[in-house]
Amino acid sequence: MEAAIFDLDGVIANVNERIEKALNELGKKKLNELSRGEKKKFWEIFLNPELLELDKPNMDIIDYIKKLKDRGLKIIIVTGRTQKQ
């Protein structure tokens, strides 16, 4: 059986707005500007379930996944999110 694996965040879902929101809350413009402590806070903000509404589907990838599924491939989606998210 053939399979294709896709990451949810950043591949299937565009998370740029959520990244920008978390960076703005920390007063930063880029991820590489974050200190170790700020990185921890960044992830707390970024993974906040209330911000998930900022994510936008990447329709090109979704269409591609549908084509692969129609060809009989098993589709596996992975994420770093918790089950609650």
Nearest to 16 by CA among 38, 31, 4, 33: 31
Segment 18-60, tens digit of pLDDT: 999 999 999 999 999 999 999 999 999 998 989 989 999 999 9
pLDDT at 12 over 70: yes
Does residue 26 or residue 85 have the better pLDDT? 26
State the pTM of this model. Answer: 0.76
* pLDDT at 81 (0 to 100): 72
Nearest to 19 by CA among 67, 74, 72, 56: 56
